[in-house]
């Protein structure tokens, strides 16, 4: 197999990311959630460590969703008719995305919760 250039590989990877965002409803949902999280983070003035955790968390959720999409594509290719094992593989992959999304929500509560409570308390004075 011929070795491909770095730029060709980067182009292929970017095409995969674009395909995931263009074709997958959940990727669009994750994108909207990420935009909202970044907006709230800017409003609340997160520090560098908090931004690092937020960016890493968003990236992990997106990566899990892209891997899930990849697995679904391969399963559909190899098993066009219904198969219990194929369905289970898809469910497991979707479950991995769910776990990362729940973890992301927990990170959001831990980072934003105290700051939002403090901000809201300012209105009760």
Evaluate whether 28 touches 21 at the Cβ level (below 8 Å).
Answer: yes
- Buried residues in 38-61 as b, exposed as e (16+ CB within 10 A): eebbeeeebeeebeeebeebbeeb
Number of domains in the chain: 1
State residue 122's pLDDT score: 84
45: left (phi over 0), alpha (psi -120 to 50) or beta: left
Q: CATH no. for residue 77?
A: 1.10.287.3610
State residue 125's pLDDT score: 65
Q: Does residue 2 lie in a domain region? A: no
Among 65, 72, 73, 121, the one annotated catalytic: 65
Q: Does residue 14 lie in a domain region? A: no
CA dihedral sign, ordered 17, 22, 24, 27:
positive
Helices and strands: H and E segment counts in the chain: 4, 0
Q: Does residue 64 lie in a domain region? A: yes
Q: Does residue 11 lie in a domain region? A: no
Q: Does residue 43 lie in a domain region? A: yes
Q: Does residue 17 lie in a domain region? A: no
Q: Does residue 61 lie in a domain region? A: yes
Q: Which domain holds residue 54?
A: 25-121
DSSP assignment string, 57-100: HHHHHHHHHHHHHHHHHHHHHH--S--HHHHHHHHHHHHHHHHH
Q: Clarify whether 65 is annotated catalytic.
A: yes
Q: Does residue 6 lie in a domain region? A: no
pLDDT, one tens digit for every residue, the chain (125 residues): 678 899 999 999 999 999 999 999 999 999 999 999 999 999 999 999 999 999 999 999 999 999 999 999 999 999 989 899 999 999 999 999 999 999 999 999 999 999 999 888 888 76
């Amino acid at each position: 197999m011929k070795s491909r250039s770095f730029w060709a590989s980067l182009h292929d990877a970017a095409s995969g990311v674009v395909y995931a965002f263009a074709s997958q409803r959940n990727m669009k949902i994750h994108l909207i959630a990420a935009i909202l999280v970044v907006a709230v983070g800017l409003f609340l003035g997160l520090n560098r460590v908090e931004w690092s955790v937020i960016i890493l968390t968003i990236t992990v959720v997106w990566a899990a969703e892209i891997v899930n999409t990849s697995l679904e594509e391969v399963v559909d290719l190899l098993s066009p008719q219904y198969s219990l094992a194929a369905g289970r593989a898809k469910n497991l992959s979707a479950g991995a995305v769910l776990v990362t999304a729940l973890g992301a929500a927990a990170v959001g509560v831990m980072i934003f919760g105290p700051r939002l409570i403090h901000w809201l308390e300012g209105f009760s004075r």
